[in-house]
């Protein structure tokens, strides 16, 4: 059960969403309003525990009178605003953004990417066989997690989670510019030489699987990763007195991954190296 903290009541404001009058609490984003109204807007760089970076632009919607489209994840609803989520312009932009992403990066482990590509009739192949790709090989420089930048869409979530929004470790940043920009440590040194503390909070927020547990990466390579055969059990970490919730992902009686519920008021999805990776003792059965 999640504790819902009491807040001062917020005033409601009214605006038009796809022709329907909609009332949302002041301060809500357009995305909040869409979700409350049961509308499914694709999102990638938006994270429920992070400040919207609005970098991926797959959630753009059309606001009447605005010169450009607005990112639903960060634009706040204003009284009297007229928003259409499904206009021709918004759909075209979402489609092309999906095409641009899928033609330059590997979206094979991005949840729902295939579904959106189908829904928007995106054709990533239209840019031809010579279209430039990110072309990175997985960086395996430690025993805990793998960085496969070929799958990275540069959503900045890992940087924000590592930096001032959660962990305050600042081990990674975006380096370079434009199409050559990459998530990197200083001078691209291996993770063990960097400031990384292996909390794994970057993996927790990664929307594409570019960052993954080594256990998951190895099983995917071996073809044994099977999410449908996994169970999830939420328990409490026993390492210290903070009381973080752990969700153990178990396949064939082995823990393959550990996450934390994002709505948990203690962790907000974040853990430390012990909670996230220190589960081997539970599997010592000999």
Partner 1 sequence: MDLHFGDSEPTDEERAAVDSLLGPATSAWEGAADRSDVDLRWARGGREARERRDLLLPGLHAVNDRVGWISEGALAYLCRRLTVPPAEAYGVATFYAMFALKPRPAKVLHVCTDLACAGNGSAKLCADLEERMGAAGSVSDGVTWQSSPCLGLCERAPAALLLQAGTPSGTAAAQRDPRLRNTGAPALPVGPNETDEPVRAAADAEVTPIRADLGTADAPNGAVVTPPRAHTNGSSAEPALRRQAFAVIAPATVDTLVDAATAPEDAPEEPSAAMAVPQAGQDGLLLLQRVGVVDPFSIDDYRSHGGYNALRTAFDIGPAGVIREVTDSGLLGRGGAAFPTGRKWQATASQPDRPHYLVCNADESEPGTFKDRVIMEGDPFALIEAMTIAGYATGAHVGYLYLRGEYPRALHRLENALTQARLRGFLGDDVLGQGYAFDIEIRRGAGAYICGEETALFNSIEGFRGEPRSKPPFPAEKGLFGKPTAANNVETLINVLPILTMGAEAYAAIGTENSTGPKLFCVSGNVERPGIYELPFGATLGELLDLAGTPTDIKAILLGGAAGGFVRPDERDIPLTFEGTRAAGTTLGSGVVLVMDDTVGLPRTLLRIAEFFRDESCGQCVPCRVGTVRQEEALHRIKDRTGAAASDDVALLREVGQTMRDASICGLGQTAWNAVESAIDRLGAFK
Binding region for partner 1 (CB under 8 A): 54-58, 60, 68-69, 71, 74, 89, 92-93, 96-97, 100-101, 103-104, 126-128, 130-132, 153-154, 156, 163, 168-181, 184-187, 189, 193-195, 197
For partner 1, which is the closer residue by CB, 1 or 132?
132
Residues in contact with 9: Cβ distance below 8 Å, sequence separation at least 6, in sequence order: none
For partner 1, which is the closer residue by CB, 90 or 244?
90
For partner 1, which is the closer residue by CB, 22 or 104?
104
For partner 1, which is the closer residue by CB, 105 or 245?
105
Phi, psi dihedral angles at 178 (to 5 degrees) = 65, -140
Output b/e per residue, 99-137; b: 16+ Cβ within 10 A: bbbbbbbbbebbeebeebbeebebebeeeeeeeeebebe
- In angstroms, give the least distance from the CB of 217 to partner 1: 23
225-232 contact pairs (CB < 8 A, 24+): 225/251, 225/256, 226/251, 230/256
What is the token pair recorded at 140? Answer: 């395996």
For partner 1, which is the closer residue by CB, 171 or 203?
171
What is the token pair recorded at 24? Answer: 């949302």
In which element (H, E) is residue 91 found?
helix 88-104
How far, in Å, CA of 11 to CA of 68, rounded?
A: 28
What is the token pair recorded at 84? Answer: 């259409």
Residues in contact with 256: Cβ distance below 8 Å, sequence separation at least 6, in sequence order: 213, 215, 216, 219, 225, 230, 249, 250
Closest alpha carbon to 44 in 107, 129, 121, 122:
107
Residues in contact with 194: Cβ distance below 8 Å, sequence separation at least 6, in sequence order: 171, 172, 185, 186
For partner 1, which is the closer residue by CB, 61 or 244?
61
- In angstroms, give the least distance from the CB of 202 to partner 1: 12
How far, in Å, CA of 267 to CA of 104, rounded?
A: 34
For partner 1, which is the closer residue by CB, 187 or 281?
187
- In angstroms, give the least distance from the CB of 126 to partner 1: 7
For partner 1, which is the closer residue by CB, 57 or 214?
57
């Amino acid at each position: 059960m999640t504790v819902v903290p009491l807040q001062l009541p917020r005033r409601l404001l009214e605006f038009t969403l796809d022709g329907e009058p909609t009332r949302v609490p002041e301060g809500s984003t357009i995305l909040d309003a869409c979700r409350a109204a049961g509308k499914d807007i694709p999102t990638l760089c938006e994270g429920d525990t992070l400040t919207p970076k609005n970098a991926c632009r797959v959630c753009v919607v059309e606001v009447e009178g605005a010169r450009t489209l607005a990112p639903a994840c960060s634009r706040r609803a204003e009284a009297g605003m007229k928003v259409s989520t499904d206009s021709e312009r918004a759909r075209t932009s979402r489609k092309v953004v999906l095409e641009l992403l899928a033609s330059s990066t590997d979206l094979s482990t991005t949840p729902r990417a295939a579904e959106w590509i189908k829904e928007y009739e995106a054709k990533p192949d239209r840019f031809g066989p010579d279209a430039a790709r990110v072309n990175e090989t997985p960086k395996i420089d430690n025993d805990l997690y793998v960085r496969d930048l070929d799958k990275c869409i540069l959503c900045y979530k890992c940087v924000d989670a590592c930096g001032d929004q959660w962990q305050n470790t600042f081990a990674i940043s975006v380096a370079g510019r434009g199409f050559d920009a990459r998530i990197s440590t200083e001078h691209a040194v291996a993770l063990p030489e960097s400031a990384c503390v292996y909390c794994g909070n970057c993996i927790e927020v990664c929307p594409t699987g570019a960052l993954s547990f080594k256990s998951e990466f190895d099983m995917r390579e071996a073809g044994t990763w099977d999410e449908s055969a996994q169970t999830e059990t939420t328990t409490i970490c026993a390492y210290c007195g903070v009381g973080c919730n752990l969700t153990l992902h178990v396949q064939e009686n082995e823990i393959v991954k550990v996450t934390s519920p994002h709505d948990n008021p203690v962790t907000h999805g974040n853990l430390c190296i012990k909670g996230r990776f220190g589960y081997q003792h539970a599997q010592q059965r000999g």
